[in-house]
Amino acid sequence: MQNILAKGNGKGNGWAMFIGRWQPWHEGHRWLIDQQLNQGKKVCIAIRDMETDEKNPYSAIQVMMNITN
């Protein structure tokens, strides 16, 4: 599986790590990530690999593609 990494704007230090199912990825998730990027932090988005079911309709790879897009 591919690692997804977004870099901060250089105004600060450190990393923010977000672990979740991201089912589905939405603007609220994007807002949360942007808050850390705007503080100059690098962001690591970890995707929890879940069996697909009614509450988790997407595979981890599909989630990664949604976030990437």
Q: Residue 32 region, left (φ>0) first, then alpha (ψ -120 to 50), else beta?
A: alpha
Residues 6+ apart with CB under 8 A from 24: 57, 58, 63, 66
The tokens describing 66, both together, are 């949604």
How many structural domains does the chain have? 1
Q: Are strands 42-47 and 15-20 parallel, antiparallel or unpaired?
A: parallel
Range of the domain at 17: 5-68
CB-based contact 64:48 (threshold 8 Å): no
Q: Would you write out the chain's pLDDT as a tens digit for each of its 69 residues? A: 455 555 555 555 789 999 999 999 999 999 999 999 999 999 999 999 999 999 999 999 999 999 998
